Amino acid sequence: MTESEVIDALLQSFDRHQSRILAFVRSRASFEDWLTWEAYYYALERGWTAAVKPRYHDLGSSRVQSFADLFIEIPDTKCKIVFEF
């Protein structure tokens, strides 16, 4: 699976929550954590490796000490993606 296929799959998974997401948008409050946890659960359901709030340093960026929102790795292809929502 390629990076774009993983991202497309995640976006399609959010389609079923369209009315909920629109309500979140109308609230003008952050729902970044909700997106992170939904994507995390989606990844786990598929047998992918996932980590919430991984440190960039742990992902190989020695200069960055902050945290990403989500890291996903597809075991079959070794495709690795870092997400910032």
* Residue-number span of the structural domain to which 79 is assigned: 3-83
> What pTM was computed for the model?
0.87
CB contact burial 5-17 (16+ within 10 A = b; e otherwise): ebeeebeebeeee
How many domains is the chain partitioned into structurally? 1
Q: What is the pLDDT of residues 6-65, one digit of tens each?
A: 999 999 999 999 999 999 999 999 999 999 999 999 999 999 999 999 999 888 887 888
Q: Which residues does residue 71 pair with via DSSP β-bridges, in sequence order?
A: 51, 82
